[in-house]
């Protein structure tokens, strides 16, 4: 199935079923302004996190990433161009994501040690995990 620029996107909806409501609200708000925004990752299992760590796509081991919790405390997003191809360009993230942040939402492009432009997370994700408002994701 091709990921489309439509008001409804089955692949995004599937990812978003497992996302914390605050992050879901932020993405829905973003998507109302930018229909070309899509989700590439939400919750990530131990196997998927280990692969991301091994491949250098993450600096976190399982349990140390907001993607490893249910509901997901982070999402990765990207843009679908008119021709259906994905866009991962920093200018798009700066224009769309950074300009649409609000309190409680942090953008990975601002991370100093490991800038991660597609990554958006709840600022207090560690607190939510510690308080039991999210639990480690087990498939």
Q: Where are the domains of the chain?
A: 10-136
Q: Which CATH class is domain 10-136?
A: alpha beta
- Mean pLDDT, the chain, rounded, equals 92
Three-class DSSP category at 40:
strand
Q: Is there a contact between 98 and 107 (Cβ–Cβ < 8 Å)?
A: yes
Share of the chain above pLDDT 70, in %: 94
Whether pLDDT at 130 is above 60: yes
Q: Is there a contact between 45 and 118 (Cβ–Cβ < 8 Å)?
A: no
């Amino acid at each position: 199935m091709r990921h489309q620029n439509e008001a409804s996107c089955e692949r995004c909806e599937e990812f978003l079923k497992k996302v914390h409501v605050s992050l879901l609200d932020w993405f829905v708000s973003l998507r109302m302004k930018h229909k070309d925004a899509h989700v590439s990752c939400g919750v990530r299992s131990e196997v998927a996190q280990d692969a991301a760590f091994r491949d250098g796509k993450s600096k976190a081991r399982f349990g140390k990433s907001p993607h490893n919790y249910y509901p997901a405390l982070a999402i990765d997003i990207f843009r679908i161009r008119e021709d259906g191809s994905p866009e991962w360009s920093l200018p798009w993230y700066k224009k769309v994501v950074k300009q649409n942040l609000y309190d409680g939402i942090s953008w990975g492009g601002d991370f100093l040690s490991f800038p991660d432009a597609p990554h958006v997370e709840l600022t207090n994700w560690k607190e939510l995990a510690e308080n039991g408002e999210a639990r480690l994701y087990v498939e």
